[in-house]
Chain A
């Protein structure tokens, strides 16, 4: 537990100094949000379109920044030192925590902006936040694992999106659908099924990533 915290704090400090991942994620999200809002306008989009747009913005901004966490270790050749300092599962947990934190910070900034710019209203705010939380959990788990895989390959940037997309698509599909249900009050009862699915997906992908991370990290 101590070591997990250590890895997390180390990444946080590094990020604080360079702000590489955070800047790229946030700016990507801002640019897409502006482009979408500018192109569609505030009032014309239906609720379904807004839900889909929100998740597409979140998903692709996550794709633009989550891979940095492992790629930077390979680029600066610090991976070997980290191997000596901590067990594989501790490294993975620390990095996962960091990516999860990154997504939460991104959402804290982007979601209020989305509400303002897109004239977006939800029926039940706690449920909406829960969907985002569970969705980020799945995105962070799959994203971190794929980041670990591609950090060992060449052509890292393009490959990350290609590999993550099919694995994380369930989050995207279920997230969009659950958000649609939250927007329209009459559907709120069936949103729990989607929440369960999102939670199950997050648990499964994270468990499998923990089990398989050893093989990637030792390569």
Chain B
């Protein structure tokens, strides 16, 4: 019952965020109508990072406890990572087209999301090349962790060494979008709402994976 209330609440919450993003929030100074994509682009990028972090944590758990279920969880979060990094790339690229003039110009931030996508794809390429489940789990967990330590270099260091046009509170403080109270409200609401939605998606897939491994056990 509580779960049902939570789901309905989430539905209303994100509907309010979508309507708020279009009608309630004012536009940022000096930027056009396209700033509205902010409320969708940033949560997607945020979830990409969360998914990547979760897959690294599950990889550590796998290497620690050697329980295959953690490997399945890591795969699920990596799949979501691919999905959301694609969404972040597409929304970001559209935004870049209208504000910088080109869909793709190898801005450091674009480079780093592209590399993140490559890492996710390489992870699945590695998995498809190994037959034994235990070995596949261990090796892909190691690769996932190895990739995890190189990502901070891409996300934090390279954009600092090379100038970026991407507005960001951490890296490019000058180009930060000045948000007034109403914008900030919708923005935080979107961040929270999409995170909760991601957690729900993750739980469903986690249950699917659990059920699948239960059925597999029964067959043998």
Show the binding face of A for B, using Cβ within 8 Å.
142, 145-146, 149-150, 152-155, 159, 162-163, 165-167, 169-170, 173-174, 177, 193-194, 197, 200-201, 204-205, 208-209, 212, 215-216, 219
- Using CB atoms, name the residue of chain A closest to B135: A219
User: Which among A155, A194, A215 is the interface contact of B142 at CB below 8 angstroms?
Assistant: A215
Categorize the interface residue count of chain B.
Answer: 20 to 34
Bound-state Cα–Cα, A162 to B127, Å: 12
Can you list 23 contacts pairing A with B, beta carbon distance less than 8 Å? A142-B146, A149-B126, A149-B139, A150-B129, A152-B135, A152-B139, A154-B129, A159-B126, A163-B126, A163-B143, A166-B119, A166-B147, A167-B150, A169-B115, A169-B154, A170-B153, A174-B161, A177-B161, A197-B157, A200-B153, A208-B145, A216-B139, A216-B142
Query: B206 to chain A: closest CB distance in Å?
Result: 24
Query: Using a CB-CB cutoff of 8 Å, which residues 121-155 of chain B contact chain A?
Result: 122, 125-126, 129-131, 134-135, 138-139, 141-143, 145-147, 149-150, 153-154
Bound-state Cα–Cα, A193 to B134, Å: 42
Query: B82 to chain A: closest CB distance in Å?
Result: 13
B220 within 8 A of A: no
Query: With a CB–CB cut-off of 8 A, which chain A residues contact B139?
Result: 149, 152-153, 216, 219
- Using CB atoms, name the residue of chain A closest to B150: A167
Query: Using a CB-CB cutoff of 8 Å, which residues 81-123 of chain B contact chain A?
Result: 111, 115, 118-119, 122
Query: B29 to chain A: closest CB distance in Å?
Result: 32
B162 within 8 A of A: yes
Is B143 within 8 A of A149, CB to CB? yes
Is A165 within 8 A of B118, CB to CB? yes
Query: With a CB–CB cut-off of 8 A, which chain A residues contact B115?
Result: 166, 169
Query: With a CB–CB cut-off of 8 A, which chain B residues contact A162?
Result: 122, 125
B42 within 8 A of A: no
| Known contacts A159-B125, A165-B118; A212 and B145 CB within 8 A of each other | yes
B171 within 8 A of A: no
Show the binding face of B for A, using Cβ within 8 Å.
63, 111, 115, 118-119, 122, 125-126, 129-131, 134-135, 138-139, 141-143, 145-147, 149-150, 153-154, 157-158, 161-162
Bound-state Cα–Cα, A3 to B154, Å: 36
Is A205 within 8 A of B150, CB to CB? yes
User: Which among A170, A194, A200, A215 is the interface contact of B138 at CB below 8 angstroms?
Assistant: A215
| Known contacts A149-B142, A216-B139; A197 and B126 CB within 8 A of each other | no
Query: With a CB–CB cut-off of 8 A, which chain B residues contact A152?
Result: 130, 135, 139
Bound-state Cα–Cα, A192 to B126, Å: 36
| Known contacts A197-B153, A208-B149; A170 and B142 CB within 8 A of each other | no
User: Which among A145, A153, A200, A208 is the interface contact of B129 at CB below 8 angstroms?
Assistant: A153
Is A174 within 8 A of B158, CB to CB? yes
- Using CB atoms, name the residue of chain A closest to B143: A149
Bound-state Cα–Cα, A139 to B203, Å: 39
Bound-state Cα–Cα, A201 to B151, Å: 11
| Known contacts A162-B122, A197-B157; A167 and B146 CB within 8 A of each other | yes
Query: With a CB–CB cut-off of 8 A, which chain B residues contact A205?
Result: 146, 149-150
Query: B161 to chain A: closest CB distance in Å?
Result: 6
User: Which among B131, B141, B154 is the interface contact of A215 at CB below 8 angstroms?
Assistant: B141
| Known contacts A149-B126, A205-B150; A167 and B157 CB within 8 A of each other | no
